[in-house]
Structure 1
Amino acid sequence: MAMKAPRGTVDILPENAKKWQFVESKIKEVCDRYHFKEIRTPLFEHTEVFQRGVGDTTDIVQKEMYTFEDRGGRSLTLRPEGTASVVRAFVENKMFGNPNQPVKLYYFAQMFRYERPQKGRMRQLNQFGVEVLGSDNPATDAEVIDLAMTCYRSLGLKSLKLVINSLGDQESRENHRKALVDHFKPHEHELCRDCQSRLEKNPLRVLDCKKDRDHPAMGTAPSILEYLNEESENYFNQVKSYLTAMGIDYEVDKNLVRGLDYYNHTAFEIMSEADGFGAITTLAGGGRYNGLVEELDGPATPGIGFGMGLERLLMALDAENIEVPLDDQLDCFLIAVGEEAEYESVRILHDLRNNGIQVDKDYQGRKMKAQFKAADRNQAKFVLVLGEDELQKQMINIKSMETGDQAEIPLTDLTERLQQILKGGNISE
C-alpha cells in the first residue's frame, strides 16, 4: 500500500509555506496594533474541557472529536476548537489576577475534527483566533469584530459581508427557548433525528441544522430578537452603534446562532461574497460567551472571541485574485572549485550567514556550469566564485546575475562589501 497523508489532511509544501508565513505575519502585525498577546496551548486536553466548555449537545462533542485513552486510562481529546483551551489556561494560570485587564489573547493553532472533508473544510485545520477575557463592555465586542475585519482588509480582501445577531442574556434565552420548543413541537416527527434530540436539550441549535434548513417551520420560527429584554436590547444597540462609528457595514441575521453552546449576547460571522468562492462562504465566526469561565471552574469572567480558518482565508485570496508578495530570491550562491576552495567555502558561508546575508552553495559536486544553473534556479542575486587562483590571491569573484557585472573582492572585505552591494551599492566600487 502506498503511504499517503490521512484523509482530510494535506501537506503544506515549501512553495506554499511562504504564503502561510506572509498571511500569519500580517495578522500578527494587526494583533500587535490592537495590543493582543499570543498564547499557545497544548494540542490535546482532557476530554472534559471540551465537553464542559463546548457543550454536550454540539456536533463537535457528539460527532467530531478525536478522543482516545492514554496509557494511564485518562480520556484525552485532540483540540477541536480554540476557546475552551484558552479559557482553561486562563483559569489554571490565574490570569484573572493580572493587573492589566481585560486579558487580550490570540493564537495560531491546528484543530482536529472528524467530518466529511471538502474544499476548505479539513479534518486537520489551521485556525487563527482571539479571546478577550474580563470585559463585558459592548465596545469590546466591536473591537474584536473590527480586528477580524482589519485582518482581512490588511491582506486586500474586499468581497466581505459581516452578519451579526444577539443571543441575549440568560433570561432572554430562556424565554426564547420556551417559544422555540412550542413552535417546533408540532413538527417534531418531521425533523431529523439530531433536531429531535436538540429540541429538548438546546432548541436554539435546531435553527443551525443543515438537514432541516428548508423545512417550512424554520422560516416561521420565533426570533431571539423578539425576546430580548431591555438590557440585552440596549447591549446589542450599543454594539451596532460602535460598528457604525467605525464605518463597518453589517447585516442583522436573526437566525445566526453559531454552533457552540457557550455563546450569549453578540454573535457574528464574516463571509466571502467573491465569485466562485464556493458554497460554504463563512470565513470566521465568534461571539460573546459570558459564563464559560465559570463552567471551567474559574471566577465569573465575561469573554468574547472568534475563530478564523486560515485555509479558507487563502481560498478567499485566490477567489479575489490577490497575489501574496513572496520574496524567494537568494542573496548569493557560492561556487567553490577545488578541494581547498571547498574547505574555505564552509567558513565563508558561516561568516556571511552570521552577518545576515542569505547564501547557499552546491553540495553535489557538480560542474561550474551546472552550479551557475543552480544559482539561477534559486533566483540568486549574485554568484560568488572561489577557485584555486582566487584563493592564492585571497580574493573572490562576485557576479551580478541581473546585469552580468563582476569584480574581484578581497576575502577580508567580503562581508562588508556584500552588505553594501545588497543595499544598492555598485559592484565595482
Structure 2
Amino acid sequence: MTPKQHILQVSELTKKVRFILESELNTVWLCGEISNFVAASSGHWYLSLKDSKSQVRCAMFKGNNSRVRIKPSNGKQVLVRAKVSLYEPRGDFQLIIDQMDDAGEGLLQQQYDALKKSLNAQGLFGLQHKQPLPKTINTVGIVTSPTGAAVKDIISVLKRRSPATNIILYPALVQGKLATQDICLAIQKANQRQECDVLIVGRGGGSLEDLWCFNEEAVVHAIFNSTTPIVSAVGHEIDTTLSDYVADLRAPTPSAAAELVSRDQSDIIDKFNNIEKRLQFALQNRINIQKRLANDHLKHLLKRHPEQRLVVQAQKADELTQRLTNSTVGLIKSKQILPQQLSRNLIHLSPQANIDYQTEKLKLLEERLSQSLSHKYQQEKNHFVSMIEQLQLVSPLATIARGYSVTRNEKGKIVKSVNQVKTKDRISIQLSDGQVDATIN
C-alpha cells in the first residue's frame, strides 16, 4: 500500500456506487413477479421483483402508489417503471418504482403510447383534417357488433329523438384478432355505398385489451381516409382509444353519439309550429293588403260617379255662400265700428284730458315735496340732538356732576398742582351744586 492511496469509508463507497447507478442507468422498465410484498403503516410499499434466475429489492413511496390501479400481491406479474438506486444504510441495491401496471396491460399501454406518438407525428390527429357533421342528417350508419349492447342503445336513442332518421347497420366484430379487418371493411363499404350522412364507429366498454382493435393502425387509417364524417363511440367516458383521436368527433358513449347525430323531435315540432305561424301571418297580411286595395278601388269609383261629383259641387256652392255671407257681415260690422273709433280718438285728443293729467301730476309733486321737507326736518332734528349729547359728554360741568371739582386761585386760574398755592392763599372750589371759598392753612 502506497502512502498516497486514499482509503474509502464505507459510507463514501455506498454514496459513490449510488451516484454511479442513478446517473448511468436512470429510469428502466422492468417486468417481474411480486414477492415479499409489505404495505407499511407509513403508506410506502416494499417488495421484491423476481424471475426464474434473479430478484431485486424495490420500494414504491406513498405519493406514487396512490395512482396504481391494480392491487399488488405476491405472485402477481407486473410491469414497473423505476429508478435504479442504492439504499446506503445497508448497502442494498434497489429500485425506486414510480409506476406499476399489470404486466399484460402495461405492455399494451407501452404499445399504445408508442403508436399514438407515431400516428400523431404523421399528422393523422390534426384538427385541419376533421370534417364537420352535416347540418341535416337523414341517414346514420353504424359500424359495430349486431348483437352488442351498443347498437341497441344507439337505435333506441335515435328512435326516441328522431324517428324519421334512417339507420343502416354495417356489422363487424369489435373484439379479437379478426375485429381489425372487420371494422376496416365495414368503414370502406359504407364509403363505397355513399348511403349515409354520418357514420358511428364503436362498441361498449371493456378492458384495454378488449378495446385494442380500435387502437390498431389499420383502423386508424381507415377512419382517417373516410370521406363520410365519423363519430367515434368506443367504451365508457373514461376510455380513450386512438380511434377517438383520429375521428371527426368523439362521443363519450354510444348513446351520446346517437344524441350528437340526431335532433330532438321537439325541435322539429317547434320548427313546424314556427313555419305554420309564419304562413298564417303571411296569409293574413296578404288578405289585409287585398282588402286595402279593394277599398282604394271603391273610393276611386265613387269619386268618378256623377252623383258624387254633384254632391261635391253642391258642397262647394254652400261653402262659397257661407264665405260671402261672412264677408258681408264682417264689412257691415267694420263700418259700424268706425264712428266709435273716431269718437274715442276725439276724446283722447281733448285738452281737458291733458289738464286733468297735469293737475293729478301737480298733486303728486306737492305730496312728495311735503314728505321730503318733513323727512329733512326730522333728519336735522336728530342731528341736533346728537350734537347736544356729544357736547354734554365733553362738558366740564358733566365731569363735575360725576363727583369731581375745579379749584381756582384768587386770580381765577385753575390750580393743577399743590405747588401752585401756599399758606393763607384764598381759593374757590367749584362743585356740581355751587361754589365753596377756602383759605390754605
Larger radius of gyration: 2
In terms of fraction of residues, the more helix-rich structure is: 2
1 or 2 for the larger relative contact order (CA 8 Å, sep ≥6)? 1
Q: Report if TM-score (shorter chain) is over 0.5.
A: no
